[in-house]
Chain A
């Protein structure tokens, strides 16, 4: 079956532009995560959705970052007024179960969107 897909795979933006990154999770997966991976670093948690509810957004670096999952399936990560420090790979992951104690352990990752802000 299809895995997690992300689009676009690559995005070049001029500083100050707004960008929207899309994630299509595995059908039926309850949990959806966004991570930011800077060059040479491990992924850093941004936000978590359980169905359409955004249960944690503590990792979003600033109010320029906004994520939504309105129908509990596809999710969009939007970055307003992009800055050079936003350049990174943005990874999306989904999990069948709600995340928490004993649940959602297996996260399926998409290939990521590589964002370059000039």
Chain B
């Protein structure tokens, strides 16, 4: 059974810092991996999607990498801002059977001014 773990569970940083969020998964048979953002009381918003054949994706200040063989992904946020405060979730899409998304437990990020 695929299990997805995110470390750290919570992170508090001052504005301007660069930071790294980690995601690990137990089964390397994935179709792709996504990073989502969840704001309190709101749904999830997709930030980046990395296909299993790709190594990284970039969008603005965000960069996500994928090492499928080792079962790891990182989300790098450059020059963090208070508006980045949210919970960040990674999710893998299974490559077998019904390809449901399996989510990690999330990292709660607080960026203080």
Binding site for B on A (CB under 8 A): 3-4, 40-45, 48, 55-56, 58-59, 91, 93, 99-101, 105-112
Cβ contact within 8 Å between B32 and A45: no
A56–B98 Cα gap in the complex (Å)? Answer: 7
Cβ contact within 8 Å between A111 and B41: yes
A105–B47 Cα gap in the complex (Å)? Answer: 12
Cβ contact within 8 Å between B100 and A56: yes
Ranked 10 nearest A-B pairs via Cβ = A109-B43, A42-B103, A45-B100, A109-B44, A56-B98, A43-B103, A42-B105, A110-B43, A42-B104, A111-B43
Q: In this complex, what residue of B is CB-closest to A46?
A: B100
Cβ contact within 8 Å between B43 and A112: yes
Chain A residue numbers with a CB within 8 Å of B98 are 48, 55-56, 58
Q: In this complex, what residue of A is CB-closest to B100?
A: A45
A107–B99 Cα gap in the complex (Å)? Answer: 14
Q: Does B64 contact A (CB under 8 A)?
A: no
Chain B residue numbers with a CB within 8 Å of A110 are 43
Interface size class of B (residues with CB under 8 A): 20 to 34
Cβ contact within 8 Å between A111 and B42: yes
Cβ contact within 8 Å between B105 and A41: yes
Chain B residue numbers with a CB within 8 Å of A55 are 98
Least CB distance from B63 to A in Å reads 19
Query: What per-residue 1/0 map shows which CB atoms of B87-113 lie under 8 Å from chain A?
Result: 001010100001111111110000000
Cβ contact within 8 Å between B43 and A101: no
Q: In this complex, what residue of A is CB-closest to B103?
A: A42
Least CB distance from B106 to A in Å reads 5
A112–B102 Cα gap in the complex (Å)? Answer: 18
A112–B38 Cα gap in the complex (Å)? Answer: 11
Least CB distance from B1 to A in Å reads 12
A114–B56 Cα gap in the complex (Å)? Answer: 35
Given contacts A101-B31, A106-B46, contact A40 B105 (CB under 8 A): yes
Q: In this complex, what residue of A is CB-closest to B42?
A: A111
Chain B residue numbers with a CB within 8 Å of A59 are 100
Cβ contact within 8 Å between A42 and B31: no
Residue from the list A3, A44, A100, A111 in contact with B103, Cβ < 8 A: A44
Q: Does B4 contact A (CB under 8 A)?
A: yes
